[in-house]
Amino acid sequence: MITKQHTHVLSRVHLFLAFFSIALGGTFGLLQGLVRAGAITLPSWLSYYQILTAHGLLLALISTTYFIFAFLLAGNGATLGDLSKTEYTLAKWGTIVLTAGVILAATMILKGDASVLYTFYLPLQASPWFYVGLALFVIGTWLFAAGLIHQYFAWRKAHPGQKTPLFAFLGTVTLLLWIIASLGVAATVLFQMIPLSFGWVQGVNVELSRTLFWYFGHPLVYFWLLPTYMAWYTVMPRLIGGKLFSDTLARFAFLLFLVFSFPVGIHHQLTEPGIQDGWKFFQVILTFMVVIPSLMTAFNVFASLESVPRTAGQRRSLFGWIGALPWGDVRFLAMIIAMLFFIPGGIGGLVNASYQMNAMVHNTLFVVGHFHITVGTPVMLTFFAISYWLIPHLTGRTFTPLANRLGILQTVIWSLGMLIMSWTQHALGLMGAPRRTAYTVYQNHPQAQVWFDTPWANYTLMAIGGALLFTGIVLMLVIVIYLGFFAPRSEKATFPLAEARDDGPQPAFLENWKLWLTITAVLILIAYTVPIFDILAHNAPLARGMRTW
């Protein structure tokens, strides 16, 4: 019999691994900032690109996945009940397999045999065991996701005619999105990278691999964002003592995210040959379709914020709800600051995906600024906000005023660090500074000198922002350890789920999974069939694998 205790333990394991990855990845990030500013040089046994690979994989892929799995597992437990034996076995073995994959890939990076960055573009050729590690990671996530998805559909079958719990519904969309997205990266890893690195084939089609990678790479960002939105929809209204404005629209927005997250990967390949202008533009249009569910989310979340209980005075004023919000509660504060960061984050994204403007920013530090102000802040800060109540919930402890004060300090440091670093990266990118490049002055070329000398945006400022963020990580780890092991015990800590305002009966098409998965598949086929066919038809000569580090 699988009990709540089993799920809690598994969830705690994921949280622990998530924060361990954040600690390691954050340390590497600090070093990168310092190297790039010319403040330090790395010892000969450690290369900039080695730690950059580790930083990217640990923070973008590994810590996020562990955190999301911990959150979804705990939330499903709170809304659907305990896992069945099969579901628990899937989740447990999924965790083991994906962790084995992470350890294998990380070992290869530490040995210096996989300095290929977190995009591992062919024909850079890492040790085959690095790719085997990646494949195990993906397979592990599939097993884990299968367990939770099965839990959802089993509940649905056992409760015919009932609306499924919102949290579990949104979590299921998130997991389906992950599975469909990871098919792309699994294809290039299994059929191109592993055969090449073991020497079974002599060459690979690089453009095909990149297209498969970006079919995965863009929906990956929605895999980070959707759990973030889940916290905004299902938890935040409860924290402020209000109600979710619309349950139905939350579900509808998630389904639109699912549908529009895949047929868009080519907007990462706008400066590449091998893809026709017309198809590049078509995927750019589809990319911007996510504006619609994003606007729906913004409306729904802000309308929920307005439902905060107010005093008579606050009710009279149009913006009285702002003063009524619990600004002193870090569980809320971190989340709302996360939301505000998403405004410049989203605008930067519009620039990146704009067909012709992309050439101005492609592969510059602007892009780095963009993903630090999106995944690094709206997502990470929301994950921190979740941790403040999820850890006490899982460990049976209390969230104390001390933790709250430390959390507020953490939020301030993180926001300040991110403002400085991300601002600098955006500005340096517009001045042409390249991303993913070790310290260099380009033979003192004046155009490169500007990146060191401009007073309001330079590499030193970027490193200062990075150092603040690192301080934020250290403080966060202190809070996590305190909440996990030292805070006073209490059995009262719950998973704070909000109720929704009554917005009428839910239309049946929202739970018609066959319909939505079919639309998703059709859009993928429309967007990708011809570009992939073209790439195969060009029959570009294959490239041999190379180790260039």
Partner 1 sequence: MHLHRYEKIWLSFGITSLIVFLAVLAFTAFAEGHTPPGGILTVSPESVDQVPPFNAPGVYDRGDYVDVYIVGQIFSYNPNRIELPLGKPVHFYVTTKDVVHSFTIIDTTVNMMLIPGYVNSATYTFEKPGSYLVLCNEYCGAGHQLMQMEVEVKG
For the segment 98-137, give every residue that binds partner 1 (CB under 8 A). Answer: 115, 117, 121, 123-124
Q: Which is nearer to partner 1, 389 or 451 (CB)?
A: 451
- In the residue annotation, 370 being an active-site residue is answered as yes
Cα(475)–Cα(413) distance, integer angstroms: 9
Nearer to partner 1, 234 or 269 (CB): 269
- What is the spatial distance between Cα 43 and Cα 496, in angstroms, rounded to a whole number? 47
Q: Is 404 in the site for partner 1 (CB under 8 A)?
A: no
- Exposed, middle or buried by CB within 10 Å (0-12, 13-18, 19+), for 303? middle
Active site residue 371: yes
Q: Which of 221, 353, 222 has the alpha carbon at shortest distance from 287?
A: 353
> Catalytic residue among 210, 331, 370, 426, which?
370
Window 39-68: residues binding partner 1 (CB under 8 A): 47, 49, 52
User: Measured between alpha carbons, how far is 433 from 466 in angstroms, rounded to an integer?
Assistant: 17
Measured CA angle at 334 (ends 473, 306), to 5 deg: 170
| Smallest separation (angstroms) from partner 1 to the CB of 435 | 7
Q: How far is the CB of 414 from partner 1 (least distance, A)?
A: 28
Question: Footprint of partner 1 on residues 154-183 (CB under 8 A)?
Answer: none
Q: What's the closest the beta carbon of residue 105 comes to partner 1, in angstroms?
A: 17
Stretch of residues binding partner 1 (CB under 8 A), selected from 133-141, 243-251, 257-265, 411-419: 243-251
Kindly state the smallest distance separating residue 50's Cβ from partner 1, in Å: 10
Q: Which of 318, 314, 337, 352 is nearest to 413 (CA)?
A: 337
Nearer of residues 405 and 544 to partner 1, judged by Cβ: 544
Burial of 363 by CB count in 10 Å (0-12 exposed, 13-18 middle, 19+ buried)?
A: middle
Q: Which residues pair with 244 in a beta bridge?
A: 500
DSSP 3-state of 275: coil
Spatial CA neighbour of 373 closest among 408, 423, 432: 423
Reading phi first (left if > 0) and then psi (alpha if -120 to 50, else beta), residue 444 is in left
Strand partners, 124: 546
* The one segment of 178-186, 233-241, 278-286, 329-337 that binds partner 1 by CB under 8 A: 278-286
Site for partner 1 in 513-542 (CB under 8 A): 534, 538-542
Among 299, 452, 482, 513, binds partner 1 (CB under 8 A): 299
Distance CA 329, CA 291 (A): 30
**Nearest CB to partner 1, comparing residues 491 and 502:** 502
Q: Specify whether 36 is catalytic.
A: no
Which CB sits closer to partner 1, 47 or 314? 47
User: Is 222 annotated as catalytic?
Assistant: yes
Footprint on residues 406-465 left by partner 1 (CB under 8 A): 432, 434-440, 442-443, 445-448
Nearer to partner 1, 240 or 510 (CB): 510
**Catalytic hit among 222, 233, 332, 366:** 222
Closest to partner 1 by CB, 180 vs 206, is: 206
205 binds partner 1 (CB under 8 A): yes
Quick one: which H or E segment has residue 334?
A: helix 330-353
Site for partner 1 in 246-265 (CB under 8 A): 246, 248-249, 252
270 scored as a contact of partner 1 (CB under 8 A): yes
Crossing angle between the packed helical segments 206-234 and 330-353, to the nearest 10 degrees: 150
Site for partner 1 in 335-374 (CB under 8 A): 350, 354-356, 358-360, 362-364
Separation of alpha carbons 363 and 359, rounded Å: 9
CA 97 to chain centre: 21
- Which range, of 97-105, 168-176, 279-287, 331-339, touches partner 1 by CB under 8 A? 279-287
- Among 6, 150, 310, 436, the active-site one is 436
Give min distance, CB of 30 to partner 1, in A: 19
* Residues binding partner 1: number (CB under 8 A): 76
Candidates 92, 156, 210, 397: give the one binding partner 1 (CB under 8 A): 210
305 binds partner 1 (CB under 8 A): no
SS3 at position 244: strand
**Active-site position among 14, 36, 156, 218:** 218
Determine contact, residues 480/222, Cβ cutoff 8 Å: no
372 noted as active-site residue: yes
Q: Is 434 helix (H, G, I), strand (E, B) or coil?
A: strand
Report in angstroms how near the CB of residue 363 gets to partner 1 at its nearest: 4
Q: Which amino acid is at 216?
A: F
Ramachandran angles phi, psi of 493, nearest 5°: -60, 125
Taking the CA atoms of residue 439, residue 443, residue 444 and residue 450 in that order, the dihedral angle to the nearest 10 degrees is -50
Choice among 130, 223, 371, 399 that is catalytic: 371
**Nearest distance in Å: CB 517, partner 1:** 20
Q: Residue 81 is encoded by which pair of tokens?
A: 């009940």
Catalytic residue numbers read 218, 222, 370-372, 435-436
